[in-house]
Amino acid sequence: MRKIISGNEAVALAVKLARVGVVGIYPITPQTTIIEELAEMKLRGEVSADVVRVESEHSAMGVTLGAAVSGVRAFTATSSQGLLYMHEMVWWAAGSRAPLVMVVATRAVGAPWNIWNENTDFMSERDSGWIMAFASSPQEALDLTIQAFRVSEDPRVFLPMMVGMDGFVLSHTKTNVYIPSQEDVDEFLPPRRQPYVIDPETQESMGNIFQPFDYMKLRHSIHESIESSQDVIREIGREYEKLNPLSDYKTLNVEYKLEDADYAVVTMGAWSLDAMEAVDRLRQEGVNVGLYRVRYIRPWATDEIMRALGDKKGVIVFDRATSLGRGGPLYLEMKATIDSPVKGVVTGLGGVSIGKKDFYHVISKSIEEFRFKSFREVEWYYPGEVKEVELGTPRSSI
């Protein structure tokens, strides 16, 4: 079945199809309509999940984690300051090796207040021990959310998983989405099983103080599980293609016209489609350039990336997030992976709109810089309507 729905509606449908047992909810823009949709489904009797309203995002993750260690399929969603507020519990979920799923509709982080799109909130959790995927369309938001429950609950992984998507750009934009049947999802995603259940009637416990060697071994085991989850994700992705014949999840990340490309563009999320149009235009002008879309931040697909980008004369990485003082986090990850020349472009922060003309301009200019070996490693790009950029300190106006 196909429906015209937003990214947030697609995620809520995925949670319904996954037969989630507990949803911990606390509102924050732009993810709020996910939990509103789930609450309305509950009211209409379409889901049997316990929808638990709490007083903060910290508690939302606490409820979700508590349900997960009790053996219940569990879900929550958040954004921006909400993710930062639940940060402590995000680490507890990973350290508890608790399978659960969270969707992050990305948004800029304060101060100052800004409700528009930016990926810094999502990227700030990449060291927390979660499996992390990022969608480029409402369709992918639905597909990845369903797959996330299967990946997270796989005994070879047994870690929480978060799915990111661009706030407003995907969360509130409606497109044509293919929705698999409940029967197909039931076959793909069997009832949750786990080797332990925390129950008040038993003497099982979790999270007590660990001796140093045991603590280090736990961290090592999470590292190994994230690394080995690549094969699990590919296996589950291939199986998921039976539910959605139009999908392609054989690999963690996605290549576009890269085979014969001299230069490559790296993106993540919704603006990848604009970048693909810029690549098409440059191809028509005789420039051999392709695109590599990062779909998984953790695990980091080192082998896939080296095979796709290791022989390029130049790689341009677009980041909608910052590691202030170092450039963008995607750029840093890519630079640590390949020997090819890598240029990082930080742009689109706080909702600054970047379109295909901007991608065309930056990619064209960067390729010329690579040719003359004169590229700046990190550039902050403002779109054409910004004629002059004057930066200030607290003693002057910005």
DSSP-derived letter for residue 327 is B
pLDDT in the model for residue 245: 86
Which residues have CB under 8 Å from 371's CB, separation 6+? none
Q: Are residues 49 and 197 in the same domain?
A: yes
Q: Which of 66, 65, 15, 69 is closest to 40 using CA atoms?
A: 15
CB 119 within 8 A of CB 157: no
Last residue of a domain, one of 187, 218, 243: 243
Same domain, 267 and 224: no
Q: Would you say residue 33 lies in a domain?
A: yes
Of the residues 210, 243, 276, the one at which a domain ends: 243
Asked if residue 314 lies in contact with residue 370, where contact means CB atoms within 8 angstroms, the answer is yes
**Tally of CA atoms within 13 A in the half-sphere of 114 that contains its CB:** 19
Q: Are 72 and 205 members of one domain?
A: yes
- One domain for residues 296 and 355: yes
Same-domain check for residues 166 and 124: yes
- 59 within domain boundaries: yes
| Any domain includes 297 | yes
Q: What is the CATH number of the domain that holds 161?
A: 3.40.50.970
The pLDDT of residue 393: 79
Instruction: Give the Cα separation of 247 and 22 in Å (integer).
Output: 28
For residue 248, being part of any structural domain is answered with no
pTM of the model: 0.96
pLDDT at position 129 is: 98
Q: Single out the residue in 243, 278, 313 at which a domain terminates.
A: 243
Query: By CB neighbour count within 10 A (0-12 exposed, 13-18 middle, 19+ buried), where does 333 fall?
Result: buried
In angstroms, the Cα distances linking 166 to 117, 124, 232, 266, 355 are 6, 15, 26, 16, 15
Burial class (CB in 10 A: 0-12, 13-18, 19+), 241: middle
pLDDT at 9: 98
Which residue's entry shows tokens 């796709």?
A: 308
Is residue 30 a contact partner of residue 172, using CB atoms and an 8 Å limit? yes
Query: pLDDT below 50 — which residues of the chain?
Result: none
Same-domain check for residues 96 and 129 = yes
Same domain for 259 and 238: no
Nearest-angstrom CA–CA distance, 120 and 100: 22
Element spanning 380, H or E: strand 378-380
Q: What is the pLDDT of residue 202?
A: 80
Could you give the CA distance from residue 109 to residue 121 in angstroms, rounded to a whole number? Answer: 6
Would you give the DSSP letter of residue 313?
Answer: S
Residue 50 lies in a domain: yes
Q: Is 165 helix (H, G, I), strand (E, B) or coil?
A: strand
238 and 272 housed in the same domain: no
- Residue 386 is assigned to a structural domain of this protein: no
Say yes or no: 161 and 52 in one domain.
yes
> Domain range spanning residue 282?
254-380
- Within-domain flag for 275: yes
Identify whether 198 is part of a domain.
Answer: yes
Provide φ and ψ at 139, rounded to 5°.
Answer: -60, -45
Q: How many domains does the chain have?
A: 2
Residues 347 and 200 reside in one and the same domain = no
The CATH number given to whatever domain includes residue 330 is 3.40.50.920
Same domain, yes or no: 227 and 349: no
Pairing of strands 378-380, 296-298: unpaired
Residue type, 383: P
HEC per residue, 124-177: CCCCCCCEEEECCCHHHHHHHHHHHHHHHHCCCCCCCEEEEEECCCCCCCEEEE
| Same domain for 237 and 357 | no
Chain centroid offset of residue 25 CA: 19
**What pLDDT does 397 receive?**
58
Identify the pLDDT of residue 183.
Answer: 97
